[in-house]
Structure 1
Amino acid sequence: MGMVRSNNENYLTGFVLGFSDYLQLQKVLFVVISILYLLTIWGNTTIILVSHLEPKLQTPMYFFLSHLSFLDLCFTSSIIPQLLVNLGSSDTSISDCVVQLYISLALGSTECILLAMMSYDRYAAVCHPLHYAFLMSPQLCHILAPLAWLSRVATTLKQSTLILWLPFCSHHHVDHFLCEVSVLIKLACADTTFNEAEFFVANILFLFMPVSLVLFSYGYIAKAVLRIKSATGRKKAFGTCSSHLMVVIIFMYLQPAKSRSKGQGKFVSLFYTVVTTILNSLIYTLRKKDIKGALQKVLGKML
C-alpha cells in the first residue's frame, strides 16, 4: 500500500479493506457474488447487443437502456473483481482507490440522469404520442446521452481530487468493502466542511433534480392513463412504463441508508452494488416481450 508524505501529513494513495471480521462468510460471499456478477454481465451484455442488432429495438427507449446497461457493467466491474480478489485471499489491500472513487461517484449520478431521460421518453410516448418522433428525435437522443455522461464525469474529477488531497490519519484501515466518499471523509484529519458542502450541492444538481423530473413525468403519465376510457388502452399505456418504473423504484428506495450500524450498512451497500444492477437487466429482459422476441431472433440467426 503506497503512501506519500507532505508537510508531515499522510495523503491517501491506497488503503486496506475492513471486511475481515466476517471470515466465516467470505467463502459463501465469494461464490454468491461470483454468480451474481456473471448474471450481471450476461443480462446487461444481452440488452446492449440485442438493442444494437435488432432494428425494431433501435428506438429512444432502448437507446437509453443500452447506455444504462453499459453503465451498470462499468460500475460493477470497477468494484466486484477487486472484492472477489479480497474475499478469495488473506490480502485485503486495494491499490485502485482512485479508480473506484471516481467511477462510483460518476456512474452513480449518471444512472439517475439516464433514468430521468428515460422517464421523459415515456412521458412523450404516453402524453404526446403524435409528437413523439419530434420530441425524441435521434439527434436529441445523441445529444442527451453524452451530456449525461460528460456533465457528471467532469464534476466528479474535481470532487475526487478534493477528497484524495485531504490529509488523512496515520491508519488507512476502512471498515467497508469499497472506496467511496463517505468512508474516506471519516479518515480525514482535517476540517471537511467544504467537501461535505460541495457534495451536498452536487447531490442537489445530479440526484434531486433528476428524481424531481422523474416524479414530474410520471405525475403527468398517471393523469394521461387515468383519462383513457378503455381498460385495454390503460393496460397498454401502463405496460410501456412498467419496466422503467420498477427500475426507478429500485434506484430510489434501495439506496443504502446512512443511519444503519457499520455491519448493516456494509451489507446493505453490498446488496445495492451487486443485486440492483442485476435487477435492472432482469426486469427488462424478462418483462419486455420486445427484448425476449429480439433475443430469440438474434440467437436463431446465430445458430
Structure 2
Amino acid sequence: MLSWEERRLLVKVSNLYYTDGWTQEQIAKKVGVSRPVISKMLQKAKEFGIVEVYIKDESALTVELEQKLEQKYGLIDAVVVPTVGFTPDMVKRSVGQAGAYYLSKNLKRDVKRLGISWGSTLSEVVKEYPYERREGINIVPLVGGMGTQHVEIHANQLAYELAKKMNGTCSYLYAPAIVETEELKERLVAMQDIAAVLEEGKNVDVALVGIGNPYKGSTMKAIGYLQDDDLQHLRKMGVVGDISSRFFDELGMPVKHSLNDKVIGLTLECLKEVKKVIGVVEGTHKIESVAAALKGDYLDVLIIDEQTALALLQEL
C-alpha cells in the first residue's frame, strides 16, 4: 500500500509528465531527485493504477490546486492536503503531517541552520516529524517565547523538540515575543546571548513559519500578548495577519505599529532574505492573512488544507 504522501507525489509527477508535457529532466529538477528516479516513479504510477490513459486519483484535484498556487504566486512548491469532511483537529493534524513529511523529504543535507517560528500548527509539524539522524543541524527560534502559558507552542520549545527528533542541536532565545516597552526591547536585544541568537536567525538556510490571524483563533490573544484595545488599533491600521508576531497589511507590507517595535525576533524584511521559507497554515479563517503573506512574497513553499486553498483561489 502507498501512503498518502507517496500517492500525492506520484500523481504530481504523472500530471507534469502526461498532462503538462514536462520532460523527466525538468520534473527531476523541480522535485529535487535524479532523472532515473522520475522514470521509476512514472512506472510505479502505472503499476498502482494511478496512470492509465488518464490520471485517476482522489489527489488529482489537490495537485491541480497546487499547480495553480505555484503559478499564481511564483512558489517553489505547494502542498494541498485533502481534508474534506475532517474536524478542525483532524485538519490541523493532517496539515502537520504533510508539513513534517515535506520538511523531512526536502531538507537537504547541506542545511546547517533551520529557523522555526511558533504556533499550534507548527507544533503539529514537530509532533509528526520522524526521528532521524541529521547531525550538524542547529534549530534556531525566530521569535522570543517565555512564560507559563502554552509553553508547548513557543519557538524555544519547538526548536528543542525538533532538534531532539533530528538528533541535532538548538539555540534558545531567552526573551518574550513581545515586551512592554520599546526601551525594554532595546535593552534586551543588546544583551550578548539574545543578540547572538537573533543574528543566527538572520542567517538560517531554511525557515519554517506559521501565519496568524490576530482577530480569529489568535494564539497571541490567548497567551495575553494582545488585548482587545490592541486588536481594535491593529484593525484601524489595516493589519490582516502576522508571521512570527510581526504584523502586515492586506498587501503584505509591514505595518508601522508600536507592537511591531516591541517584538523580539526576526523582522519581515529579514525573513525575505532567507533562502527558503516554508509556510504551514490551516483554517479558512486565515484566507485573508495567507493571501497577504503571499502578496508580500514572504513564502517560497506553502503547505495548506484543501478548503483554504480553494477559498484562497476563488476569492482572488
TM superposition score normalised by structure 2: 0.25
Q: Which has the higher helix share?
A: 1
TM superposition score normalised by structure 1: 0.26
